[in-house]
């Protein structure tokens, strides 16, 4: 097939009808003209070019995650010319990740990386169409994350243990367990983020992951999180004598936090992120409405909050269990006129 006088592509078909259909499709695709030679370069080289582009245009953590996820692309795909990669190959690569036991959320992120890469290739006229378009993540994968929150009483008991080891880090741990802030969000809190009127609260508007520059929160949105009374003495102590732009907490480093609180022994098999789960579960168990909890936690949707609701169970679950535990004959049923019981 030619565009003008230039030969751009060709293929052999069994029938004239198939050849004409292919020619029509290719002319539509090439209306913006893509040099077919651009797609002949191996995928691995194009991935390297794209990662350079990502480092220049995306947030640092996003670019690093993309670079990590490209290592999951099979060698069979990396060795192919980019224009020979098919949707089926991408689906097979995700099925392999499921078989390896990768987390469902990680596979979804891998799929997003593929979509971003091939969209870049289309936008830069390296290929005419993205093989990732319309490709869905296969069912399966390890559960996104197991949840092991403490109850409020258990958190208080943990605080007593931690306080005997390191007062400041114990206060930080309890703060996380009652506010639901992510570790990176707590690291970024400043004195100015605390408000005491009309009620005590912190404004969460940035995150500061370790080794990375300060950035926006995970959702990109600012949220207001109320402070329980038990947190106020330490928060006020930290505010005293510090300027509005100074960090609210002492320098927080995950490795030191774990060491100072002897987390391997005192954490009871939980992660630091379980403190966030603890806060959400405490709010819900205290009767805070899911819509409010969604706002405090910064969840993207109520679907995420519902995961915690299901984890805790509902009033209907409790009522059903109470009925199951009734002694035989305790439930008499409803009666109809004439004194006869309806079943």
Q: Encode pLDDT of 20-46 as tens digits.
A: 777 766 665 555 555 667 768 899 999
Residues in the chain: 343
Phi, psi of 93 (to 5 degrees): -65, -35
pLDDT at 334 over 80: no
Counting Cβ atoms within 10 Å, is residue 126 exposed (0-12), middle (13-18) or buried (19+)?
buried
Most confident of 101-110, 139-148, 168-177: 168-177
pLDDT tens digits along 175-208 = 999 999 999 999 999 999 999 999 999 999 999 9
Among candidates 172, 181, 142, 167, which has minimal Cα distance to 278?
181
Percent of the chain with pLDDT over 70: 83
Query: How does strand 6-7 pair with strand 194-195?
Result: unpaired
pLDDT at 342 over 50: no
DSSP states along 240-285:
TT--TTSBSSSP--HHHHHHHTTHHHHTTT--TTHHHHHHHHHHHH
DSSP letter for 334, please. E
Cβ distance 46 to 18 under 8 Å?
no
Cβ-proximal residues to 263 (8 Å cutoff; 6+ apart), any chain:
257, 272
Cβ distance 226 to 286 under 8 Å?
no
Total Cβ atoms within 10 A of residue 235: 20
Quote the pLDDT of residue 303.
78
Quote the pLDDT of residue 58.
86
Model pTM score: 0.58
Which residues belong to CATH 1.10.443.10 in the chain? Answer: 152-317
Does domain 152-317 fall under CATH 1.10.443.10? My reply is yes
Tell me which of 341 and 171 has the higher pLDDT: 171
- First-last CA distance in the chain: 79
pLDDT tens digits along 233-275 = 999 999 999 999 999 999 999 999 999 999 999 999 998 999 9
Q: Please compute the mean of the pLDDT values over residues 56-79 and round it to a whole number.
A: 89
Quote the pLDDT of residue 183.
94
Provide the phi-psi class of 266: left if phi over 0, else alpha when psi is between -120 and 50, else beta.
alpha
Phi, psi of 284 (to 5 degrees): -65, -40
Quote the pLDDT of residue 206.
94
DSSP letter for 195, please. E
Taking the C-alpha atoms of residue 132 and residue 288, their distance in angstroms, rounded to an integer, is 42
Cβ-proximal residues to 129 (8 Å cutoff; 6+ apart), any chain:
29, 122
List the alpha helices (DSSP H) in the chain.
Answer: 16-29, 43-57, 60-69, 75-78, 87-99, 104-123, 152-163, 167-179, 183-188, 232-239, 254-260, 263-266, 274-285, 290-297, 302-312, 315-324
Fold designation for 34-123: DNA polymerase; domain 1 (1.10.150)
Quote the pLDDT of residue 336.
42
Quote the pLDDT of residue 59.
83
Which residues belong to CATH 1.10.150.130 in the chain? Answer: 34-123
Taking the C-alpha atoms of residue 100 and residue 185, their distance in angstroms, rounded to an integer, is 32
DSSP states along 109-157:
HHHHHHHHHHHHHHHTTSSSS-TTTT--PPS--B-S----PPPHHHHHH
Tokens of 280: 């959400």
Quote the pLDDT of residue 151.
93
């Amino acid at each position: 097939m030619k565009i003008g006088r230039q030969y751009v592509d060709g293929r052999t078909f069994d029938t004239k009808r198939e050849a004409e259909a292919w020619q029509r499709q290719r002319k539509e695709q090439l209306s913006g003209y893509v040099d077919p030679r651009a797609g002949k370069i191996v995928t691995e080289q194009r991935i390297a070019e794209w990662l350079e582009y990502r480092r220049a245009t995306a947030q640092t953590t996003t670019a690093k995650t993309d670079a990590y996820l490209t290592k999951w692309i099979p060698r069979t795909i990396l060795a192919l010319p980019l224009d020979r990669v098919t949707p089926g190959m991408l689906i097979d690569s995700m099925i392999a990740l499921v078989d390896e036991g990768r987390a469902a959320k990680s596979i979804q992120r891998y799929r997003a990386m593929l979509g971003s890469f091939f969209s870049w290739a289309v936008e830069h006229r390296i290929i005419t169409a993205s093989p990732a378009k319309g490709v869905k993540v296969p069912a399966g994968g390890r559960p996104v994350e197991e949840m092991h929150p403490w109850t409020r009483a258990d958190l208080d008991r943990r605080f007593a243990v931690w306080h005997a080891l390191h007062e400041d880090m114990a206060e930080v741990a309890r703060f996380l367990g009652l506010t639901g802030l992510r570790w990176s969000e707590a690291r970024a809190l400043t004195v100015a983020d605390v408000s005491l009127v009309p009620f005590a609260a912190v404004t969460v508007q940035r995150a500061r992951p370790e080794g990375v520059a300060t950035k926006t929160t995970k959702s990109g949105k600012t949220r207001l999180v109320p402070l329980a009374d038990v947190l106020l003495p330490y928060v006020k102590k930290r505010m005293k004598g510090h300027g509005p732009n100074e960090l609210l907490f002492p320098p927080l480093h995950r490795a030191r936090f774990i060491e100072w609180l002897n987390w391997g022994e005192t954490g009871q098999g939980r992660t630091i992120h379980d403190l966030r789960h603890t806060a959400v579960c405490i709010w819900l168990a205290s009767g805070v409405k899911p819509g409010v909890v969604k706002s405090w936690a910064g969840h993207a949707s109520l679907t995420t909050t519902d995961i915690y609701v299901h984890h805790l169970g509902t009033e209907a679950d409790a009522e059903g269990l109470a009925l199951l535990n009734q002694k035989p004959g305790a439930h008499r049923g409803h009666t109809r006129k004439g004194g006869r019981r309806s079943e």
